[in-house]
Amino acid sequence: METAATTQLGIEGMTCAACVTRVERALRRVPGVEDATVNLATETAQVRWAQTPGDDVQLRRAVRAAGYIPRDTASLPEAGSPWEGFWPVGLGLLLSAPLFLPMLGDVVGRHWMLPALWQFLLATPVQFGLGARFYRGTWHAITSGSAGMDVLVALGTTAGWALSTWLWWRAAPGEHVALYFEGSAVVITLVLLGKWLEARAKVQTTAAIRALQALRPERAHVITALGEADVPVAELMVNDRLSVRPGERMPADGRVLEGSTQVDESMLTGESLPVAKQAGALVTGGSVNGEGRVVIEVTAVGAESVLSRIIRLVEDAQAAKAPIQRLVDQVSAVFVPVVLVLSVLTGLAWGWWGADVPTALIHAVAVMVIACPCALGLATPVAIMAGTGVAAQRGILIRDAQALEIAHQVDTVVFDKTGTLTQGRPRLVHYQALAGELAPNVGLTLAASLLSGSEHPLARAVLDPARAQALVLQEALEVVAVAGRGTQGLVAGRRLVMGSLSWMQSLHQAAGMTSVADAPHAPGHTPNALGADAPQDWVLAAQQAMSQGHTVSLLAEQLPEGLRVLALLAFADEPKPEAVHAIEALRARGLQVRMMSGDNAGAAHSMGRRLGLHEHEVLAPVLPADKAAQVARLRAQGHVVAFVGDGINDAPALAAADVGMAMANPDGGTEVAMNTAGITLMRGDVRLVADALEVSDRTVRKIRQNLFWAFAYNAAGIPLAALGYLSPLVAGAAMALSSVSVMANALLLRRWRGTSTDIR
Q: Is the distance from CB of 399 to CB of 680 less than 8 angstroms? A: yes
Q: Is the distance from CB of 21 to CB of 332 less than 8 angstroms? A: yes
Residues 6+ apart with CB under 8 A from 436: 516, 519, 520, 521, 522, 525
| Sign of the alpha-carbon dihedral angle for 142, 143, 149, 150 | negative
Cα-only R_g, the chain? 34
Rounded to an integer, what distance in angstroms lies between the CA atom of residue 164 and that of residue 114? 14
Q: What's residue 333's pLDDT?
A: 67
Q: Is the distance from CB of 190 to CB of 374 less than 8 angstroms? A: no
- For every residue of 205-261, DSSP letters joined together read HTHHHHHHHTTS-SEEEEEETTEEEEEEGGG--TT-EEEE-TTPBP-SEEEEEE--E
Is 416 known to be catalytic?
yes
User: What are the residue ranges of helices labelled H in 477-571?
Assistant: 501-511, 538-547
Q: Is the distance from CB of 307 to CB of 202 less than 8 angstroms? A: no
Q: Is the distance from CB of 394 to CB of 691 less than 8 angstroms? A: yes
Residues 6+ apart with CB under 8 A from 757: none
* Widest Cα–Cα separation across the chain: 127
Q: What's residue 520's pLDDT?
A: 35
pLDDT along the chain (760 residues), means of 10: 68 79 88 86 82 80 88 60 80 86 60 80 92 85 72 81 85 72 80 75 64 79 88 90 91 91 77 80 88 90 79 69 68 78 92 88 84 72 83 82 86 89 84 72 87 81 87 86 83 87 78 40 34 52 78 85 83 88 92 88 85 90 81 92 80 85 67 69 87 92 87 84 82 73 84 61
Rounded to an integer, what distance in angstroms lies between the CA atom of residue 283 and that of residue 292? 14
Q: What's residue 690's pLDDT?
A: 93
Cβ neighbour number for residue 280 with a 10 Å cutoff? 9
User: Residue type at 705?
Assistant: Q
In the chain, the domains with their CATH numbers are 6-71 (3.30.70.100), 237-300 (2.70.150.10), 399-423+575-692 (3.40.50.1000), 427-572 (3.40.1110.10)
Strand order in the sheet with 486-491: 427-433, 562-572, 551-559, 494-499, 486-491, 476-482
Q: What's residue 649's pLDDT?
A: 66
User: Residue type at 329?
Assistant: D
Cβ neighbour number for residue 263 with a 10 Å cutoff? 24
Whole-angstrom CA distances from 720 to 120, 480, 541, 724 are 29, 75, 83, 6
Q: Which of 240, 416, 573, 650 is catalytic?
A: 416
Q: What's residue 304's pLDDT?
A: 78
Where is 663: in which H helix or E strand? Answer: strand 659-663
Q: What are phi and psi of 591, to 5 degrees?
A: -95, 150
Residues 6+ apart with CB under 8 A from 168: 116, 120, 177, 179
Length of the chain equals 760
Question: Judging by beta carbons within 10 Å of its beta carbon (0-12, 13-18, 19+), is residue 303 exposed, middle or buried?
Answer: exposed
Q: Is the distance from CB of 597 to CB of 621 less than 8 angstroms? A: yes
Strand pairing category for 427-433 and 6-12: unpaired
Q: What is the pTM of this model?
A: 0.69
**CA neighbor of 474 nearest in space, from 504, 436, 441, 447:** 447
Q: Is the distance from CB of 147 to CB of 337 less than 8 angstroms? A: yes
Question: Judging by beta carbons within 10 Å of its beta carbon (0-12, 13-18, 19+), is residue 353 exposed, middle or buried?
Answer: exposed
